């Protein structure tokens, strides 16, 4: 019995060290060696200043910017990466219906009178989705073009250039990364136009 206990304890210690320390360090080291950008969180810098991550959604509220999906992650305005998660409200929940109606009311006067794309009115499951649908980006073209004093055609072309198609032609949906689109927007139009 004593021998079996010693064997079990040694086996537990060895596997804990191998699987709890050695393996994670090896995988992290390989990730940093072969995929350094992704291992560091796909951070995006402009002029040496960190402006966000390609993988984490953030709030854009200025009228001269494309807006992200609403976020329920964390308190306040959401977009808290340490509190990722949706609201988990059912479609019949009055709090969800009130928030969606308020979002739709905010968006309609600022864009077209077309129906608001669903991803501009509802939060994603994580609350930190960095992408919006092409329909959501095109919906905002009129507002952003007017604010930036550029033609709607120019703005549509910018959105079209930033659409990421399905991976391998079948995985996921076409999408637009809001941070990348807004960075390209800033690069395209002078700061005074904002």
In contact, 72 and 127? CB cutoff 8 Å? yes
CA-based R_g, the chain, Å: 22
- Identify the band that residue 154 occupies on the pLDDT scale cut at 50, 70 and 90: very high
Quick one: tokens of 75?
Answer: 């308190």
Q: What is the pLDDT, as a whole number, of residue 43? A: 79
Range in 15-24, 38-47, 96-105, 106-115 with the lowest mean pLDDT: 106-115
Q: DSSP states of 42-100 as a string?
A: -EEEETTEEEEESSS-----STTS-------SSSTTS--GGG-------TT-HHHHHHH
Which pTM does this prediction carry? 0.73
User: Which residues partner with 44 through β-bridges?
Assistant: 52
Q: Give pLDDT tens digits for 157-183.
A: 999 999 989 888 888 899 999 999 999
């Amino acid at each position: 019995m004593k021998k079996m206990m010693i064997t079990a304890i040694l086996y537990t210690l060895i596997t804990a060290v191998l699987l709890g320390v050695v393996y994670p360090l090896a995988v992290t080291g390989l990730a940093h060696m072969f995929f350094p950008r992704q291992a560091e969180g796909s951070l995006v810098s402009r002029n040496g200043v960190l402006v966000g991550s390609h993988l984490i959604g953030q709030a854009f509220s200025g009228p001269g910017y494309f807006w992200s999906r609403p976020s329920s992650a964390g308190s306040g305005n959401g977009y808290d990466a340490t509190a990722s998660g949706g609201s988990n409200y059912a479609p019949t929940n009055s709090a969800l219906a009130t928030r969606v109606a308020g979002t739709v009311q905010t968006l309609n006067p600022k864009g077209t009178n077309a129906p608001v794309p669903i991803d501009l009115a509802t939060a994603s499951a994580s609350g930190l989705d960095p992408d919006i649908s092409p329909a959501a980006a095109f919906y905002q073209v009129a507002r952003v073009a007017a604010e930036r004093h550029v033609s709607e055609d120019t703005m549509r072309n910018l959105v079209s250039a930033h659409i990421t198609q399905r991976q391998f032609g079948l995985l996921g949906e076409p999408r637009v990364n809001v941070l990348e689109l807004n960075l390209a927007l800033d690069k395209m139009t002078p700061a005074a136009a904002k």
